[in-house]
Amino acid sequence: MKKIAILGATGSIGQNACQIISENPDKFSLEFFLFNKNMKKAQEILKTLEPKFFITSNKEIFEKYKTSYKNLLFVSDLEKIYQDSKIDLTLSAIPGSEGIYPTYLGCRYSKVCAISNKESIVCAYEFIKNLRAKIILCDSEHTSLEQLIKNENKKEIEKLILTASGGPFWNLSLKELEKVSYKDALKHPSWNMGKKITIDSATFMNKAFEIIEAALYFNIKNIDVFVHRKSFIHAIVKFIDKTYKFSVSFPDMKTAISYCLNYPSRLPLKIPSLEDFLPLELKLEKKDLERFKCLEFGFLGIKNLDNILFRSLLVFADDLAINLFLKQKLSFLQIYNFIKNFIEKNIGKFQNPKNIYELLDTFKMLKEKYSCL
């Protein structure tokens, strides 16, 4: 029986994980979970999975419900709960930079940490990779790559290829992209995700982060991106003899989540089979750096792979840009230039972080400086 902790249990990834845990009560026990303010979903998890504790990062929620729930704790107790719980696997699924420190604790106190929080890898991989936990990336592309290159000689790998759905705007011209709104950007053709990651997918910034993640995690810098509109192909490995291995499955995050929860073994899943979609369209298209310039940041990230500050500014600038886009203060095509100018403006103003606490201090200073936006 694996003891599980979920960081970000009320979001899309966390909810899928809870469903898998509930369907496999002989394999998993949810010991505790962390959430922000969605008390309704937190109560559903409490009723279904009966964890020992649940923890909120929202002070108002804590104050409102602490007398009603004796097992409700505040996020400041997270490290102590980890120390007392002997967790086998943490699933880190808090979106944004707020998830970095909880992920750090998950890596410090768990046997395995399955990370869906991209910021923890992009900004802090050097600070978490040598802690106690075996790290696995909880993402359809990276779990696919992990399985594709397992037992392969890395010297025989020529290239890693990530696939992108193209998002809602793939068929639009530059002129048409000038007019799209955030509501248009939230209409993803393949995946049901939170607002930030959905907009990141529309700009291709999500794929840029995935490029940096793959380069850091697999220690391979030759990475490319193909567009596959149907989202059946999740990743491809090209070998030096020009053979390719593809990972193909129905686009459902339960596949990646179940693989991570039960790592290194598989679980049976009740999701559609590819036979249901025959004849299967596996068309691949070239990336387009003219219309979707944010993808360039991924390749620039590989060139700056040892520069933690660059990678962190990239994450913070994207957070700001998405918020401004949602407030209709930035247009879709202005997001790229905003991020580029932000990095150029700030790269010389901060030191390269040497540990997790210096990294968190950098984010704190940036948040104070740009709180007016």
pLDDT for 184: 87
Any alpha helices (H) in the chain, and if so which ranges? 12-23, 39-49, 59-65, 78-85, 100-109, 118-128, 140-149, 174-177, 182-185, 195-203, 205-218, 254-261, 296-303, 308-326, 334-346, 356-369
Rounded Cα distance between 68 and 58, Å, is 16
Peptide bond into 102 cis (omega under 30): no
Q: Report the side by side order of strands in the sheet with 112-115.
A: 72-74, 53-56, 28-35, 2-7, 89-92, 112-115, 134-137
232 with 251: CB under 8 angstroms?
Answer: yes
159's enclosing H/E stretch is: strand 157-164
Reported confidence tier of residue 192, pLDDT bands at 50, 70, 90: low
CB proximity list for 137: less than 8 A, separation 6 or greater? 114, 115, 116, 121, 143, 146, 213, 217
* Amino acid in the structure at residue 255: T
Distance CA 45, CA 227 (A): 36
| Mean pLDDT score of the chain | 95
**Which pLDDT tens digit goes with each residue over 27-77?**
999 999 999 999 999 999 999 999 999 999 999 999 999 999 999 999 999
232 touches 246 (CB < 8 A):
no
Q: Is 286 helix (H, G, I), strand (E, B) or coil?
A: strand
- The arithmetic mean of pLDDT across residues 158-186, rounded, is 93
The one-letter code for the residue type at 229 is: R
Give the pLDDT score at 96: 84
Q: What is the pLDDT of residue 191?
A: 55
Confidence of residue 24 (pLDDT cuts 50, 70, 90): very high
Torsion (CA) 345, 347, 351, 354 in degrees, nearest 10? 140
pLDDT of residue 347: 96
Q: Using alpha carbons only, what angle is made at residue 364 by residues 360 and 369, rounded to the nearest 5 degrees?
A: 150
For 109-121, how does the pLDDT look when each residue is reduced to its tens digit (9 = 90+)? 999 999 999 999 9
Backbone angles phi, psi at 364, to 5 degrees: -65, -45
**Residue pLDDT, tens place only, 74-110:** 999 999 999 999 999 999 999 888 999 999 999 999 9
Residue with tokens 């053709």: 189
pLDDT for 281: 87
Q: Is 233 helix (H, G, I), strand (E, B) or coil?
A: strand
Mean pLDDT of 167-174: 93
Q: What is the DSSP letter of 238?
A: E
pLDDT-based confidence at residue 198 (cuts at 50, 70, 90): confident
C-alpha distances (whole Å) from 4 to each of 1, 83, 128, 199, 283 are 9, 14, 19, 30, 38
What residues does each domain of the chain span? 2-138, 142-251+270-306, 309-373
**The predicted structure's pLDDT at residue 95:** 85
Whether pLDDT at 329 is above 80: yes
> Tell me, which fold does domain 2-138 have in CATH?
Rossmann fold (3.40.50)
> CA-to-CA distance for 10 and 233, rounded, in angstroms?
28
Residue 188 pLDDT > 90: no
Would the pLDDT of 194 be above 80?
A: no
pLDDT tens-digit profile of 261-309?
Answer: 999 899 999 999 999 999 998 999 999 999 999 999 999 999 999 999 9
The pLDDT assigned to 182 comes to 86
Contacts of 50 (CB under 8 A, 6+ apart): 30
How far apart (Å, rounded) are the C-alpha atoms in residues 186 and 195? 7
Helix/strand/coil for 305? coil
* Average pLDDT score over residue span 213-222: 98
